[in-house]
Amino acid sequence: MVEVAVDAAAGHGPGRLALADLAASVGAGDLLTDPAAMEAYRRDWAKDPDVGMPCAVLRARSPEQVVEAMRWATRTRTPVVPRGAGSGLSGGSSAVAGALTISLDRMRAVEVDVATRTARVEPGALNVEVKRAAAGHGLWYPPDPSSFEICSIGGNLATNAGGLCCVKYGVTTDYVLGLDVVLADGRLLRLGGPRVKDVAGLSLLKLFVGSEGTLGVITGATLRLVPAPPPAATLVASFASVADAAHSVVVIGASLRASMMELMDNAAINAVEDLRPMGLDRSAGALLIAQSDAPGEARASEVEAMARVCERHDAIELFTTDDPEEGELFCAARRAFFPAMERRGSLLLEDVGVPVPVLPGLLEGIARIAARLEVDIPVVAHAGDGNTHPIIVYDASDQVATDHARLAFGEVMALAISLGGTITGEHGVGRLKKTALPAQLGEDVMDVSRAIKAALDPLGLLNPGAVL
């Protein structure tokens, strides 16, 4: 083992002996070592060009295999990159040269327990599979990343993912009651359980949520479900300026409980209209799509109240509907945004957030950056919680354009920090935003984070190069 450890320390990854040892302990059948076969497990949606070639990919079927793999990793000092569905946008599961990638994509069981109103899930289950299983019992798992049809619940837990309904229903961590985590040394921790209230000991569970695979490998979770909400009523409002829309969002948020409040700026509206014309007002400065899922009468009256707020903020056009299908058409416009952008060229997807009242300032600042650097930065925003997705579109074959895009990416994060915001509201830091993290958190918070990382993963084996 010593010679292997030296190998790993030298960055060449484990030797043949060590890989044989791994195959023996987890079963050769679930271990990929052929570069061609491993190719599909090297990148996430951040499409990091600098990903390495893993020494192997374990397609785990059970927590026991993950335990064995981490014991082996500790014995051989081999770094490990945990991976879900690979739909991450920050490079959190990008492969590391010589490291073992543990893919949880085959562990996707979902069991709903109506009596405790919880779902027992394996990390590879897709968010949509959890939602469907819950719906089968009249229950609902709220967190809804835009990628909910293709992202894994394990990835959602690792990044503390958000989504569109967070403005009313909160984020992933608010729905986690129990967590099974395999530590770097192979110990399997079982934290929490199907209990709404449990304050026995430190909140380790909440620490692991959002730790992006740097503290442990999540092998199972108990999620809190809630009764399915009634169908939502929808409001669509167009404004001459993003500021008018943003101010409406602030006022609505202070008095009403929208279950969704999405904003698209002029560039985003036109990008969608180009892809699939649906009669959106191309001249509008911003489009606001809001919903209320309050029970009974309240639904319609809440949406009407939102409409009155938009009127007071000079909305150009106003449309409300109590018909779920009609409402869904407008949400489709919002969802069409990412596909629409992908045809535009290469993308740098931002995820900055600010306190809601600062939203107008953030959006104006982004427009200024776009103008100065001559890059196209359309914006969609989960406006109700101040989380925005400016998308930097550029021609990767043009070096100047590429440099400007990278510059803009950094400047948008710096702008968010200067406005008291965050560099990432729901996608995670991963590898893409790592260098910007200290500017937001400060040295003391970074120190404490590193101390906790060292306490749980003293050899630094888990997801090296991510977050910290």
Mask for 8-37, x = binds a second copy (CB under 8 A): ------------------------------
| Minimum CB–partner distance for residue 357 and a second copy (Å) | 4
Name the packing angle between helices 63-76 and 2-9 (round to 10°): 90
Rounded to whole angstroms, the Cα distance separating 200 from 191 reads 10
Q: Does 174 bind a second copy (CB under 8 A)?
A: yes
Number of residues that make up the chain: 468
Which one of residues 82, 142, 143, 253 is an interface residue with a second copy (CB under 8 A)? 253
Q: Does 257 bind a second copy (CB under 8 A)?
A: yes
Rounded to whole angstroms, the Cα distance separating 80 from 100 reads 5
Closer residue to a second copy (CB): 97 or 188: 188
Which one of residues 36, 115, 325, 399 is an interface residue with a second copy (CB under 8 A)? 115
CA dihedral 422, 427, 430, 431 (to 10 degrees): -80
Residue type at 192 in one-letter notation = G
How far, CA to CA in Å, does 161 sit from each of 58, 165, 173, 293? 24, 12, 8, 21
| Minimum CB–partner distance for residue 440 and a second copy (Å) | 5
Rounded to whole angstroms, the Cα distance separating 183 from 82 reads 12
| Token pair of 391 as six digits | 């998308």
Contact range with a second copy by CB under 8 A, out of 47-55, 97-105, 351-359, 367-375: 351-359
Q: Does 246 bind a second copy (CB under 8 A)?
A: no
Closer residue to a second copy (CB): 193 or 410: 193
- Could you tell me if 194 and 224 are in contact, meaning their C-beta atoms sit under 8 angstroms apart? no
Rounded to whole angstroms, the Cα distance separating 371 from 121 reads 46
Return the percent helix, strand and coil in the chain, to nearest 5: 40, 20, 40
| Minimum CB–partner distance for residue 292 and a second copy (Å) | 9
Which one of residues 22, 134, 315, 356 is an interface residue with a second copy (CB under 8 A)? 356
How many residues of this chain bind a second copy (CB under 8 A)?
A: 94
CB-facing half-sphere around the CA of 110: CA atoms within 13 A: 26
- Could you tell me if 242 and 285 are in contact, meaning their C-beta atoms sit under 8 angstroms apart? yes
Contact range with a second copy by CB under 8 A, out of 23-31, 311-319, 347-355, 371-379: 347-355
| Minimum CB–partner distance for residue 459 and a second copy (Å) | 14
Which one of residues 198, 322, 364, 376 is an interface residue with a second copy (CB under 8 A)? 198
Q: Does 231 bind a second copy (CB under 8 A)?
A: no
Q: Does 236 bind a second copy (CB under 8 A)?
A: no
Q: Does 54 bind a second copy (CB under 8 A)?
A: no
Q: Does 183 bind a second copy (CB under 8 A)?
A: yes
Closer residue to a second copy (CB): 13 or 353: 353
| Minimum CB–partner distance for residue 275 and a second copy (Å) | 27
Collapse the DSSP code of 372 into the 3-class scheme (helix H, G, I; strand E, B; otherwise coil) and give the result: helix
Rounded to whole angstroms, the Cα distance separating 101 from 79 reads 9
Closer residue to a second copy (CB): 35 or 136: 136
Rounded to whole angstroms, the Cα distance separating 42 from 98 reads 12
Rounded to whole angstroms, the Cα distance separating 284 from 267 reads 10
Contact range with a second copy by CB under 8 A, out of 27-35, 171-179, 331-339, 342-350: 171-179
Rounded to whole angstroms, the Cα distance separating 168 from 384 reads 9
Q: Does 138 bind a second copy (CB under 8 A)?
A: yes
| Minimum CB–partner distance for residue 217 and a second copy (Å) | 14
Which one of residues 6, 109, 255, 323 is an interface residue with a second copy (CB under 8 A)? 255
Which one of residues 382, 389, 404, 431 is an interface residue with a second copy (CB under 8 A)? 382
Q: Which residues contact 436 (CB under 8 A, 6 or more apart)?
A: 410, 413, 414, 417, 423
How far, CA to CA in Å, does 262 sit from each of 168, 292, 301, 407, 419? 12, 12, 19, 27, 21
The burial class, CB within 10 Å (0-12 / 13-18 / 19+), for 99 is buried
| Minimum CB–partner distance for residue 287 and a second copy (Å) | 21
Mask for 405-444, x = binds a second copy (CB under 8 A): ---------------xxxxxxxxxx---x---x--xxx-x
Q: Does 50 bind a second copy (CB under 8 A)?
A: no
Q: Does 49 bind a second copy (CB under 8 A)?
A: no
Which one of residues 301, 328, 346, 464 is an interface residue with a second copy (CB under 8 A)? 301
Q: Does 243 bind a second copy (CB under 8 A)?
A: no
Phi-psi region of 112 (alpha: psi -120 to 50; beta: other; left: phi over 0): beta
Q: Does 244 bind a second copy (CB under 8 A)?
A: no
* Residue for token pair 């409409």: 307
Q: Does 179 bind a second copy (CB under 8 A)?
A: no
Q: Does 467 bind a second copy (CB under 8 A)?
A: yes
